[in-house]
């Protein structure tokens, strides 16, 4: 039997998290507020950094991620009760920045409810300046993405 995260795996998302929709995520329109998807994207960014094993490499380099941009396309209205599965994959590796795609799967609707991406800059918080993505971080991301980036 299919698991709810299988469709996201089939779309190439190797990092997937599961978050229950809370009643209070809904706004006066009676559906999940648009800011909640952005919070889910954030949680999926954090999880990707853990799942891909790059956190210790970044720590060793004295770097941390900083969000430069986010974009979200809202595909379906989501309502409580539901469970969201959120996938993350890196689709582009630049010099100091990378692009991460996100997709939210609604378990109840069995469909993608939102899609988007984040632009993340590798940042030296001590120096308050962007830095090139270290080679070992690039290698770890490419391995995690199985060569798709």
Where does residue 105 rank: exposed (0-12), middle (13-18), buried (19+ CB within 10 A)?
buried
3-state DSSP assignment of residue 46: helix
Q: Is 96 in the site for its own copies (CB under 8 A)?
A: no
**Which of 12, 14, 26, 51 is the binder for its own copies (CB under 8 A)?**
26
Q: Is 109 in the site for its own copies (CB under 8 A)?
A: no
CB contact at 8 A, 119 and 76: no
Q: Is 3 in the site for its own copies (CB under 8 A)?
A: no
CB atoms within 10 A of CB 11: 14
Nearer to its own copies, 7 or 65 (CB): 65
Q: Which residues bind its own copies (CB under 8 A)?
A: 17-20, 22-24, 26-28, 30, 33-35, 38-39, 42-43, 46, 66-74, 80
């Amino acid at each position: 039997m299919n698991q709810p995260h299988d469709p996201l795996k089939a779309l190439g998302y190797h990092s997937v998290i599961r978050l229950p929709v809370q009643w209070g995520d809904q706004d006066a329109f009676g559906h999940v507020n648009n800011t909640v998807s952005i919070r889910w994207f954030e949680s999926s960014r954090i999880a990707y950094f853990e799942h891909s094993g790059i956190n210790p490499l970044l720590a060793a380099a004295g770097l941390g991620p900083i969000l430069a941009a986010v974009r979200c396309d809202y595909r379906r209205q989501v309502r409580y009760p539901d469970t969201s599965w959120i996938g993350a994959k890196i689709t582009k590796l630049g010099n100091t920045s990378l692009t991460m795609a996100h997709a939210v799967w609604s378990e109840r609707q069995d469909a993608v409810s939102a899609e988007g991406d984040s632009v993340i800059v590798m940042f030296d918080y001590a120096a308050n300046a962007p830095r090139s993505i270290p080679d070992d971080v690039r290698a770890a991301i490419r391995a995690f993405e199985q060569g798709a980036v």
